[in-house]
Amino acid sequence: MEIKCLIIDDEKLARELLLEYLEEYPEIEVIGQCSSGKEAIKMIDKFEPDLIFLDVQMPGKDGLQVLEEITHKPFVIFSTAYDNYAIQAFEENAVDYLLKPIDTSRFRKAIERVKERMESEDSNVDKLFEMLNKGTEGYSSHLFVQKSDKFLSVPITEILHLEASGDYTIISTANDQFLSSNGIGKLEERLDPNHFIRVHRSTIINLSHLKEIEKHFNGGLVVKMKNGKSFSVSRTYSKEIRKKVV
């Protein structure tokens, strides 16, 4: 198996160490090195490597932003200084990583792991996004949404409300709107119910951005958001809203 490889790290010593370790693997051809995320995006899409060693923390565009913006989807081995929780999450989701300072035995393990995955499945970029979207309780901490030809990372805390639009969902933040190809029910499964609540079959709101609940003369409820938007609460979901009132 011949593997084209790209090394991405803003630290020269880190790149040189990876080059040294890779000398043990003649089947892996290093086709280039990058010292910045911006340069990495261009080289990944131009040369289409099979594998990249990607530093997470870089000035300018970091490793995660690189993954958001590339068109070509290589296999990814992170080099990272993430904390223990993140490392456990990477390992649990079969995402390869190297913890700096890089250990030779751990490097070999990562290479063997990525070889096995190359033989059995497609690129792990989509799995990376899936893992990175997960919060500590299994709910999403970010949603990756498409805007033109890019995927943007939207923190859950910035989402004001979600509205169904046919088979699609409109996701609104204070400054923008995004159209998701996922239905509102599917997105609801990824949202922490302690912070997001459904007020209608076509509407989910973020309680952190709720201004007030207005009671109408007929017993119906209307939720008013801090951004000025209002939504009627259907009878099906009014009980859940009333539970929030103390």
pLDDT tens figures, 216-232: 777 789 999 999 999 99
CB atoms within 10 A of CB 227: 12
What is the rounded average pLDDT for all residues in the chain?
Answer: 84
Specify the pLDDT at position 170.
95
Q: How confident is the model at residue 89 (pLDDT cuts 50, 70, 90)?
A: very low
Phi, psi torsion values for 205, nearest 5 degrees: -120, 155
Which domains, and CATH codes, for the chain? 3-132 (3.40.50.2300), 142-243 (2.40.50.1020)
CA distance 204 to 86: 29
**Stretch 89-94: mean pLDDT, rounded?**
46
Kindly report which listed range (17-26, 85-94, 100-109, 148-157) carries the lowest average pLDDT score: 85-94
